[in-house]
Amino acid sequence: MADLSVNFAGISSPNPFWLASGPLTNTGYQVMKAFDMGWGGAVWKTVGEPVINVSSRLAAIDYGGRRMMGLNNIELISDRPIDDNLREIAEVKRRFPHHAVIVSLMLASDPTLWSDMMRRVEDTGADGVELNFGCPHGMSERGMGSVVGQVPEYSQQITAYAKSGSSLPVIVKLTPNVTDVRMPARAAVAGGADALSLINTINSVMGLDVETWLPDPHVADRGSHGGYCGPAVKPIGLYMVSALANDRRVPVPLCGIGGIETWRDAVEYLLLGAGAVQVCTAAMHYGFRIIDDLTEGLNDYLDRKGLASVQDLVGKAKHRVGDWNDLRLSYSYKTVAEIHADQCIGCNLCFVACDDGGHQCIDRLPGQRAPVVRKDDCVGCNLCSLVCPVPGCIEMQDIDLGLVETWRQRQSRVGF
């Protein structure tokens, strides 16, 4: 059996799966139940001056018969008294000394508030704090959340306030609502962050009812932009983790968040450089019980790969995602489509997609059900294989043309 335990920025956890800050981690009851069921850690629902929430709060996008591909929320931080939260955090830590208990914080930009709160959190015995610089709605209009994460100087300053208040590890949770996530990340590191977690939710309007013209979700007759998460956002989370894992100016551990539902999703984040992961939407959708599949799946995977621990995976594929200019140009390496006629159902989706939205290199021949690819003309864009409804019917084949040349290499050879 592989070792699933991790040490993330000095915080030890029996496995790399933490519940993300949100409705799942609002009370001691929930966090203790989750730990009993196998979760390694939890980031408490963001604590700060208690807010008053609205009703309703959530909306989802279903796609192709799948519920909650994307989830949007307009919930704010904890609406419970700070004392109640801190008392329950202390109780959880007393009962589960070997699990990771992280307190998410969001406070106004006042050094005294931060140092007082950091001392109070330290008194609970919690393992660390996560600074919520990410919530894109409600709190941002009050000068907190993503407005802090969007201004590197503020991120640096508030991280420094938190760091000076205690010796607890400080994880800064970043917002994806920026043009280049490396800038706030570098600023948080400059402010003393021990680690970064990403992503928080993405600004979004889920949709309108075209009959009533009401947005989704709505509060009486109005809506507001909210934070988008769930399976649909995983590619954005993966990109941002990979961008930071490959940035020499961000030499701190990364905690991957966004669309994690299966052990495979988690492995992708770990391979790109995350040292632990957090889950929100999937556990809201299916319950805490998904931890069994996550831990068993990761365990089996590590055994199958002959790896002894989670650490053996962390960052192992981060070099595989990089600058476009380092990819081999198409006269050096290409892929071409092969349509397996014996599997083709003759739907012609590949022909239509290639003819209208691709490069016009698939032909329909009289008397033949399966279209045929003109391989010399195929640019290897993948579109036909993506639209084909029969798994394995269209295969992309690698053709190595020998010469290895990227745009960067070509530029130094011929100047363009």
Residues that bind ligand FMN (CB under 6 A): 20-23, 45-46, 71, 73, 75, 77, 104, 132, 134-135, 173, 200-201, 229-230, 233, 257-260, 279-282
Query: Least separation, in Å, of the C-beta of 52 and ligand FMN?
Result: 15
Query: Least separation, in Å, of the C-beta of 74 and ligand FMN?
Result: 9
Of the pair 28, 358, the CB lying nearest ligand FMN is at: 28
Query: Least separation, in Å, of the C-beta of 229 and ligand FMN?
Result: 3
Of the pair 41, 358, the CB lying nearest ligand FMN is at: 41
Q: Work out the angle at residue 289's Cα, subtended by the Cα atoms of residues 286 and 292, and round it to the nearest 5 degrees.
A: 125
Alpha-carbon gap, residue 408 to 413, rounded angstroms: 9
CB of 133 closer than 8 Å to CB of 155: yes
Query: Least separation, in Å, of the C-beta of 37 and ligand FMN?
Result: 17
CB of 280 closer than 8 Å to CB of 20: yes
Using alpha carbons, list the distances in angstroms from residue 369 to 342, 393, 397.
Answer: 10, 13, 22
Of the pair 285, 410, the CB lying nearest ligand FMN is at: 285
Helices of type H across 287-348: 290-305
Burial class for 9, CB neighbours closer than 10 Å (0-12, 13-18, 19+): buried
Query: Least separation, in Å, of the C-beta of 153 and ligand FMN?
Result: 21
| Greatest C-alpha distance within the chain | 80
SS3 170: strand
DSSP helix, strand, coil percent of the chain (3-state; round to 5): 35, 20, 40
Q: Where are the beta strands (DSSP E) in 125-204?
A: 128-132, 170-173, 195-198, 202-204
Of the pair 44, 161, the CB lying nearest ligand FMN is at: 44
Structure tokens at 345: 């159902």
Closest CA to 273 of 298, 248, 303, 306: 248
Alpha-carbon gap, residue 151 to 138, rounded angstroms: 17
Query: Least separation, in Å, of the C-beta of 402 and ligand FMN?
Result: 43
Query: Least separation, in Å, of the C-beta of 323 and ligand FMN?
Result: 27
Of the pair 16, 371, the CB lying nearest ligand FMN is at: 16
Question: Which candidate in 135, 229, 361, 388 is catalytic?
Answer: 135
Q: Where are the beta strands (DSSP E) in 234-312?
A: 254-257, 274-279
Using alpha carbons, list the distances in angstroms from residue 344 to 66, 353, 371, 383.
Answer: 26, 15, 9, 16
Of the pair 57, 375, the CB lying nearest ligand FMN is at: 57
φ, ψ of residue 240 to 5 degrees: the values are -70, -40
Alpha-carbon gap, residue 241 to 260, rounded angstroms: 13
Query: Least separation, in Å, of the C-beta of 23 and ligand FMN?
Result: 5
Tell me, yes or no, if 354 is annotated catalytic.
no
Closest CA to 44 of 15, 81, 68, 19: 19
Of the pair 73, 385, the CB lying nearest ligand FMN is at: 73
Of the pair 22, 28, the CB lying nearest ligand FMN is at: 22
Q: Which residues are catalytic?
A: 135
